[in-house]
Structure 1
Amino acid sequence: MFLTQTVPRQREILEVFLRNGWDYMRRLLTGGKADEPQLPTPAVLKNILVDLGPVYVKLGQLLSTRPDLLNAAYIEELSTLQDEVPPVPWSEIEIILRKELKRPLAETFKTVNPIPVAAGSIAQTHRATLADGREVALKVQRPGIDLTIAQDIALIQGIADLVARTEFGQTYEIKSIAEEFTKALEAELDFTREAGFTDQLRRNLSKSRWFDPTQIVVAEINWELTTEKLLVMEWLDGVPFLSADLDNDPNVKDPALKRKEITTLLFRVFFQQLYIDGFFHADPHPGNLFYLKDSRVALLDCGMVGRLDPRTQQILTEMLLAIVDLDAQRCAQLTLQLSDSAQPVILSRLENDYDRMLRKYHNVSLTQINFSQIIYEVLQVARNNKIRLPSNMGLYAKTLANLEGVARTFNPDLNFFDEVKPLITDLFRRQLLGDNPVRSLLRTALDIKSLSLQSPRQIELLLDRVTSETLQWNLSLRGLDGVRRTMDDAANRLSFSILVGSLIMGAAIISTRAQTTQLSFLSTTLFAVASLLGLWLIVSTLRSGRLR
């Protein structure tokens, strides 16, 4: 059914599913019954995505940021996905360069190294020297990748439409996730967006009260040469973070102390991004963290970023403290505050789940706790209770997990809570007093003054309304409409019963004392009316079914 509507690419996808033994997708794509989703094992799913090509590797990388959808085993396996694709020949890259540059290639660059320093699914990077002698990195989009992505996006949306018909697809809003992925993928094709993110991150990190801004580097963008398909930025000379050999670095006197300083710097840099700026580098894996030759640390590749609004930042800050205190009740309350789902939640069950999860850490030293693992478990509890959290929570958790993982590998003696304790303390102080305590104190004093001036008048108005009986209360109680209608019906029947009885008694009194023809006629008329009303009352009661 699905295969007859599109292109050979879909047959290729089906062959990959069959080759790796994913029968659920085979039934789904061929129109068979597949109500309950049956994911392959994490390793098989990773192999499927790799076989399907670069676009689906990107899909796997996105899914690795969604612990609210997948459990820890899948997240861990998909987090290892990297863009491992052969580089495009220089002759094809040169064509793209000449199309994107405003001036001839020879006038713009003194030299361009035809051998790429990195090759990914979307682009590859070359080292070059500008005509004025500055060293730059050229990130050039792969030829034809936009057409390939457009085809695969159409396929992903088609599969999402099929999965959306299942209960799983409706519960987790698979179509929304597919739309989110396609937008993220389309955004990666526009390098001017990444350039803008890079500039914003560099501006945010250029000042701080937690760390020395001169020790962290974000590459400068050459906007004169940057286009949608070409990103030109400052060349940073260094090595990937975990490849740094501090023991043999002549600039480092104490390698252990230097490792401690660098991990402290990293935590402070990312905590500022997460909890103060609300704009963060969402992919701090080892390849995107560089140790430069001058002993500074650089952040590379700002293609994936996350955003947190002030309310979410405050909730997540409180969540940190609740986790440290192993407070299950507070964790449950904060999770509901984060939720963007309208589905009802059993609070007692949610609290019990958090209590069981946190109880494992009651007798564990803080130095032995893997904090990012707890964050993943928090999202897992929310998923088990069908609480849908915003998608940026996945990026938030992934960023913390990558950061902690890299820091522990780089510095095995890392104590996570010693690193973040002063930061959490300062965050709460900022929430209570703001950046300017004097201004916050004056604003609070003005609010108290306004309240003290307005309160007597408000109380006077309230008392005046109470004493003059003009105070109105508007109450809305759900579930009482049926009771109200039943009481109205009963009151109506009672009124008719009293009326019928009165007519019969009046007719009887007149009948016993009737001495004229007119009185006899009136008595007969009253009996007739009473009989008709009584008969109607009996019939309506029987039809209502409420005789008993």
Structure 2
Amino acid sequence: MGWGNIFRRRVKVFSLAVLIYLDYKALQKRDKFMKSKEKSEMLWKRAHERNAQRVRNLMIQSEGLWVKLGQYLSTRADVLPSAYISLLKQLQDSLPPRPLQEVCHTIERELRKSMKELFLDFDENSLATASIAQVHRATLIDGRKVVVKVQHEDIKRIILEDLKDAKSIVDWIAWAEPQYNFNPMIDEWCKEAPKELDFNHEAENTRTVSKNLGCTNKYDSDKPINQVDVLIPEVIQSTEKVLILEYMDGIRLNDLESLEACGVNKQKVVEEITRAYAHQIYVDGFFNGDPHPGNFLVSKEPPHHPVLLDFGLTKKISSSMKQSLAKMFLASAEGDHVALLSSFAEMGLKLRLDLPEQAMDVTSVFFRASTPANEAAEFVKSLDERRTRNMKVLQEKMNLSQKEVKRFNPIDAFPGDMVIFSRVVNLLRGLSSTLDVRIVYQDIMRPFAESVLQEKIARGPSSSEQWIYDTPVHSDVEAKLRQILVELGNKDKILGIQVCAYKDGEVIIDTAAGVLGRYDPRPVQPDSLFPVFSVTKGIAAGMLHWLVDNGKLNLDESIANIWPEFGTNGKNLIKVHHVLNHTAGLQNALANLREEHPLLMTDWDECLKRIAMSAPETEPGQVQLYHYLSFGWLCGGIIEKQLFDLSTLKASYTLEFHQVWNLVLQR
């Protein structure tokens, strides 16, 4: 391809990018003044249809990298409009084939033999034609049935030029719409994509993945739980531009009618593919980066095993990165903010500001269960709402204008290894949406992620000499306590713990042991911070008794007399002493907060309102049930309503109690 053709190709690509951008921006502005929802939806549908057609036509004409991009987009039925999916999925394996003469010339040049010397039979019609190569069935001289993958002429130069164009377009998008900065992704793609152009590299990748997954051409029902049952063709021969593989008869994963006719369980197939990728990522640290539907077959005979194809784009990650990815996944599954941020730091993902809730929200979306295609529109809407909510938090935290927040990128550094990993997870999600199945990734991938951290997670004292943090033993009592902690740790009764005790003003126990979290192997130290709940119940109760001792409160007084809003829904008989001895019947008054929104627990006034609106489950004073969550707000509400001015309490209480407990009260 001459420079003139490359220039014309580049002009076509950039012209289309600008045309589509202006088309959508104009419709976006017009939509603001649209009163009819039906008319708005119709206009957006037409815009998607005409732009999808434009994109598809350009990709077919241009081939090369743009076909690979189209293949990726065609799998994202969970986020892209159906018009794009229906047109772009044609790019998965049905491009116009290259002339047979060109194919034969490449084979003979690469293998240094004539076609007659190599094959008893060579099918002139290609099985599939993709962005880089096309595949033909053949029979070797020794009678073996094979497929021959032949690279297109001059495709290397085209791909490298396309990468430059893609980089320029991404730079332009990042300038025009700063919230869509895909530079880390295109940078990693520029590094990895050229590797696909050497079929010797692909052959070695195929052998490695096959060995890692323990693949054979036979079904094995007795494999260990973290082994997978997929098939991978055997490599027969390879050169830079020709790859000969064992022939495996199967159904294309995007041939939904044939899958249905053969009675294939699509749910089971996609689950097994997901397990295979979880094994590659978390166990092997070596995974195929291109799981689009065109790269899979399903064996025609029961039990209909997935056949994995095309290992040109394969990523190898370090052991530390593998562990960081596993830790990130498990921290997201557990809702462990500390472990999540720790995994970010370990993998080199740096944020410009501290937003743990938003980080957890984004990660949870990333590892969410897949969305069937018919739910895609609703899901995209929910994603927009999440993004708007997170941008508002960012705007408030950074004190930015609406224009400034659009251009602010909260990510300071994004590790390149995460790019291909993210691509794989998104392609797998798109795959399940295309086949209209729902995959719960946290269930399927969890055993594989946990296996990576087996040497680090929740190990007891028997396997770690530093399980009890190395600090001086202050007393015989502390020595005995440490023995007990070791026994409990070996029985998996303790994950991490701190114990401190004073006697007559002297420290007699100051022990830390274990780890910070199930998936956070950092040791618990004496100054490690933990969120605390029930340990403050004693302080809250002590404050009430202090008020009683100072004549400011009566234990037999009805709470409704102090706190009028409290006297609703049958709570008018609850007295102060009922709260203190856990017989108020309000043990579950705030139980739904954690499911509704855990952060509501930080809203003092909202929690007091909910306490006031609650109803007792038992008659006051009759049944003693631990008020595990509501106790602090019950005590705090009484104190606040009784004193009106909490500054008086803070001053008096601190003065008296600080002398005894060396305690500073903060609210």
Equivalent residue letter for 2:428: L
- From 115, 124, 129, give the equivalent of 1:119: 129
Whole-angstrom distance in 2 between the partners of 1:9 and 1:411: 36
Identical amino acids, percent of aligned pairs: 22
CA contact (8 A) 1:98 1:105 kept: yes
Whole-angstrom distance in 2 between the partners of 1:45 and 1:413: 26
CA contact (8 A) 2:72 2:427 kept: no
- Alignment correspondent of 1:291: 298
* Residues 1:184 and 2:192 are matched in the alignment: yes
- From 239, 244, 259, give the equivalent of 1:227: 239
Please list the CA deviations of residues 487-535 of structure 1 after superposition, one character each: whole Å capped at 9, or x if unmatched. xxxxxxxxxxxxxxxxxxxxxxxxxxxxxxxxxxxxxxxxxxxxxxxxx
Please list the CA deviations of residues 27-49 of structure 1 after superposition, one character each: whole Å capped at 9, or x if unmatched. xxxxxxxxxxxxxx988489458
- Alignment correspondent of 1:137: 147
SS of 2:411 mapped into structure 1: coil
Q: Which has the larger radius of gyration?
A: 1
Whole-angstrom distance in 2 between the partners of 1:7 and 1:367: 41
- Alignment correspondent of 2:224: 209
- From 407, 412, 427, give the equivalent of 1:402: 427
Whole-angstrom distance in 1 between the partners of 2:191 and 2:361: 38
Whole-angstrom distance in 1 between the partners of 2:164 and 2:440: 46
Post-superposition offset of 1:279: 0.8
Whole-angstrom distance in 1 between the partners of 2:280 and 2:161: 35
Equivalent residue letter for 2:275: R
Superposition map of 1:121-520 within 5 A? 121-153=131-163, 155=165, 174=183, 180-206=188-214, 209-210=224-225, 215-223=229-237, 226-241=238-253, 243=255, 249=262, 261-294=268-301, 295-328=304-337, 330-341=339-350, 345-347=352-354, 350-354=355-359, 384-407=409-432, 412=437, 415-432=440-457, 444=464
CA contact (8 A) 1:119 1:125 kept: yes
CA contact (8 A) 2:64 2:155 kept: no
Classify 1:103/1:274 alpha carbon distance in 2 versus 1 (closer, same or farther; 3 Å): same
Please list the CA deviations of residues 133-152 of structure 1 after superposition, one character each: whole Å capped at 9, or x if unmatched. 11111111112323434544
Whole-angstrom distance in 2 between the partners of 1:151 and 1:414: 37
Whole-angstrom distance in 1 between the partners of 2:161 and 2:413: 30
SS of 1:335 mapped into structure 2: helix
Whole-angstrom distance in 2 between the partners of 1:64 and 1:216: 25
Whole-angstrom distance in 2 between the partners of 1:259 and 1:392: 30
* Count of aligned positions: 405
Q: TM-score, normalised by structure 1?
A: 0.59
Whole-angstrom distance in 1 between the partners of 2:54 and 2:249: 34
Structure 2: gaps (5+ residues): 25-46, 216-222, 392-407, 472-667
- Alignment correspondent of 2:110: 100
CA contact (8 A) 2:122 2:137 kept: yes
Classify 1:392/1:74 alpha carbon distance in 2 versus 1 (closer, same or farther; 3 Å): farther
CA contact (8 A) 2:226 2:448 kept: no
SS of 1:217 mapped into structure 2: coil
Tell me which moved more, 118-127 or 258-267. Answer: 258-267
Please list the CA deviations of residues 6-54 of structure 1 after superposition, one character each: whole Å capped at 9, or x if unmatched. 9444444454456546599xxxxxxxxxxxxxxxx98848945852622
CA contact (8 A) 1:137 1:232 kept: yes
Classify 1:220/1:76 alpha carbon distance in 2 versus 1 (closer, same or farther; 3 Å): farther
Post-superposition offset of 1:201: 0.7
CA contact (8 A) 2:251 2:259 kept: no
CA contact (8 A) 1:199 1:220 kept: yes
CA contact (8 A) 1:283 1:304 kept: yes
Whole-angstrom distance in 1 between the partners of 2:432 and 2:276: 13
Structure 1: gaps (5+ residues): 25-40, 250-254, 453-548
Classify 1:172/1:221 alpha carbon distance in 2 versus 1 (closer, same or farther; 3 Å): same
CA contact (8 A) 1:63 1:75 kept: no
Post-superposition offset of 1:124: 0.9
Classify 1:346/1:413 alpha carbon distance in 2 versus 1 (closer, same or farther; 3 Å): closer
CA contact (8 A) 1:42 1:78 kept: no
CA contact (8 A) 1:282 1:399 kept: yes
Whole-angstrom distance in 2 between the partners of 1:46 and 1:386: 34
SS of 2:236 mapped into structure 1: coil
Equivalent residue letter for 2:97: P
SS of 1:301 mapped into structure 2: coil
- Alignment correspondent of 1:51: 58
Post-superposition offset of 1:95: 1.7
Equivalent residue letter for 2:242: L
Whole-angstrom distance in 2 between the partners of 1:448 and 1:353: 33
Classify 1:441/1:305 alpha carbon distance in 2 versus 1 (closer, same or farther; 3 Å): farther
CA contact (8 A) 1:49 1:57 kept: no
Equivalent residue letter for 2:326: T
Post-superposition offset of 1:59: 6.7
Equivalent residue letter for 2:247: W
Equivalent residue letter for 1:277: D
Q: TM-score, normalised by structure 2?
A: 0.49
- Alignment correspondent of 1:494: none
Classify 1:242/1:318 alpha carbon distance in 2 versus 1 (closer, same or farther; 3 Å): same
Equivalent residue letter for 1:308: I
Whole-angstrom distance in 1 between the partners of 2:259 and 2:185: 43
Whole-angstrom distance in 2 between the partners of 1:302 and 1:359: 29
CA contact (8 A) 1:64 1:74 kept: no
CA contact (8 A) 1:60 1:78 kept: no
CA contact (8 A) 1:107 1:131 kept: yes
- Alignment correspondent of 2:648: none
Classify 1:239/1:104 alpha carbon distance in 2 versus 1 (closer, same or farther; 3 Å): same
Classify 1:316/1:87 alpha carbon distance in 2 versus 1 (closer, same or farther; 3 Å): same
Please list the CA deviations of residues 294-346 of structure 1 after superposition, one character each: whole Å capped at 9, or x if unmatched. 433210111222233222222222222332233445434433443345xx622
